């Protein structure tokens, strides 16, 4: 008899139209591969050498103000530029180039150099939510896509430990949201309902992949998860974008974020690395249809953490993953069960 906790199988991701190979029996294999170095969790509240701390000079020569809460500035080394010239013609049908205009910003979550999101007081996490929404609303007046995200930890390529995220806004729709747009639109046309609202109802009823929930939000390890302890964060009602969240929903979002990110840190008692990003409806471009044309969209956040077995062993996306399709060893249900039972009091607070 087929047993999903023992036998390899594939799971379908309706958001992207892609599959993930699940091989739960591989968790029994010994590990002799790379072991990451753990980074000391002890940092000062202020670092005079940090270019993100209040009052310090950044790499581009600009000095930060003495900010008290969140602080946003244009990236000194932006990957996108607002005045990029338009490409006139393609060199060849197989050599396509498309110009893109955009703006990149950095968002410091807190003036404290030593606090990550799960360690920040709840009102300060709420300020981060409000700033995410404000930046999305502002840049959405100019650009089609606004990508709010955070890379946490050196293992995720973060070059500065000061708690911060980024906002990249661009004139074109990137690959991942383009796939999600097509899949959600197809589901809406076939069923007359939003894909992710139906999925949230399925997960709430099943319960086995739910990690945390409250009146307005649901956090699950998605059925099709690729990363070992991946999470999908969903609002319970139809919401297109972050600025559309009501005050109570923003409070609840701050609460569930602090909840699940604390669980992450408690899993291996380390500052858990991840990439977190928000996907909401694209913004209408000039002469385009109004928001009603995006009714198939539902706001959601993806959290992709790489750690697999411990604070020092991560999941690598190589070989078959790069040439075939994504593969995971731990089932989504097993990952959710481990996260769900973890305490919501941060392990550093328990130690003190």
Structure token digits, residue 129 = 């939510």
Structure token digits, residue 16 = 């992207």
What is the rounded distance in angstroms from the CA atom of residue 150 to the CA atom of residue 63? Answer: 23
Q: Do residues 305 and 229 make contact, with C-beta atoms less than 8 angstroms apart?
A: yes
Q: Is the pLDDT of residue 5 over 90?
A: no
Among residues 117, 211, 210, the alpha carbon closest in space to that of 162 is found at 117
- Tokens 């180039």 belong to residue: 97
309 or 268: which carries more pLDDT confidence?
Answer: 268
Least confidently predicted of 12-26, 215-229, 280-294: 280-294
| pTM score | 0.94
| pLDDT, position 36 | 56
| pLDDT, position 146 | 98
| pLDDT, position 31 | 45
pLDDT mean over 118-144: 97
**Is 92 known to be catalytic?**
no
pLDDT-above-90 percentage for the chain = 80
Tell me, letter by letter, the H, E, C secondary structure of the chain: CCCCCCCCEEEEECCCCEEEEECHHHHHCCCCCCCCCCCCCCCCCCCCCCCCCCCCECCCCCECCCCCCCEEEECCCCCCCCCCCCCCCCCECCECCCCCCEEEEEEECCCCCCCCHHHCCHHHHHHHHHHHHHHHHHHHCCCCEEEEEEEECHHHCCCCCCCEEEEEEECCCCHHHHHHHHHHHHHHHHHCCCHHHHHHHHHHHHCCCEEEECCCEEEECCCCCCCCCCEEEEECCCCCCHHHCCHHHHHHHHHHHHHHHHHHHHHHCCCCCEEEEEECCCCCCCCCCCHHHHCCCCCEEEEECCECCCCCCECCCCCHHHHCCEEECCCHHHHHHHHHCCCCCCHHHHHC
Among 113, 162, 164, 300, the active-site one is 164
pLDDT tens digits along 67-100:
999 999 999 999 999 999 988 777 888 988 899 9
pLDDT tens digits along 143-199:
999 999 999 998 888 879 999 999 999 999 999 999 999 999 999 999 999 999 999
Q: Is the pLDDT of residue 142 over 90?
A: yes
**What domains are there in the chain, each with its CATH number?**
41-85+92-351 (3.30.428.10)
Structure token digits, residue 334 = 């097993």
pLDDT tens digits along 6-45:
899 999 999 999 999 999 887 665 544 555 556 556 889 9
What is the rounded distance in angstroms from the CA atom of residue 326 to the CA atom of residue 319? Answer: 10
**What average pLDDT does the structure give for the chain?**
93
Q: Is the pLDDT of residue 105 over 60?
A: yes
pLDDT tens digits along 228-259:
999 999 999 999 999 999 999 999 999 999 99
């Amino acid at each position: 008899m087929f047993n999903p906790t023992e036998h390899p199988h594939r799971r379908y991701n309706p958001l992207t139209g892609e599959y993930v190979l699940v091989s739960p029996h591989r968790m029994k294999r010994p590990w002799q591969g790379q072991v990451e170095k753990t980074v000391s969790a002890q940092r000062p509240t202020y670092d005079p050498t940090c270019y993100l701390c209040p009052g310090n000079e950044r790499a581009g020569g600009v000095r930060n103000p003495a900010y008290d809460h969140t602080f946003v500035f244009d990236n000194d080394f932006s990957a996108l530029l607002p005045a990029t010239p338009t490409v006139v013609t393609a060199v060849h049908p197989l050599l396509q180039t498309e110009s893109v205009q955009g703006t990149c910003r950095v968002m410091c979550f807190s003036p404290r150099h030593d606090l990550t999101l799960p360690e920040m007081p709840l009102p300060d996490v709420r300020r981060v939510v409000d700033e995410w929404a404000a930046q999305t609303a502002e840049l959405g007046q100019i650009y089609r896509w606004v990508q709010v995200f955070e890379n946490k930890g050196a293992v995720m390529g973060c070059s500065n430990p000061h708690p911060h995220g980024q906002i990249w806004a661009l004139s074109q729709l990137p690959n991942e949201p383009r796939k999600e747009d097509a899949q959600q639109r197809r589901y809406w046309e076939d069923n007359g309902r939003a894909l992710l609202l139906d999925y949230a109802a399925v997960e709430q009823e099943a319960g086995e992949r739910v990690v945390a929930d409250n009146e307005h939000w649901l956090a699950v390890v998605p059925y099709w998860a690729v990363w070992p302890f991946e999470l999908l964060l969903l609002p319970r009602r139809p919401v297109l974008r972050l600025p559309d969240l009501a005050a109570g929903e923003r409070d609840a979002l701050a609460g569930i974020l602090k909840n699940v990110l604390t669980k992450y840190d408690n899993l291996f008692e380390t500052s858990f690395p991840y990439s977190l990003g928000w996907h909401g409806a694209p913004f209408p471009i000039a002469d385009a249809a109004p928001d009603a044309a995006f009714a198939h969209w539902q706001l959601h956040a993806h959290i992709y953490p790489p750690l697999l077995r411990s604070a020092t062993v991560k999941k690598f996306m190589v070989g078959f993953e790069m040439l075939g399709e994504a593969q995971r060893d731990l089932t989504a249900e097993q990952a959710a069960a481990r996260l769900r039972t973890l305490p919501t009091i941060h392990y550093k607070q328990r130690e003190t």
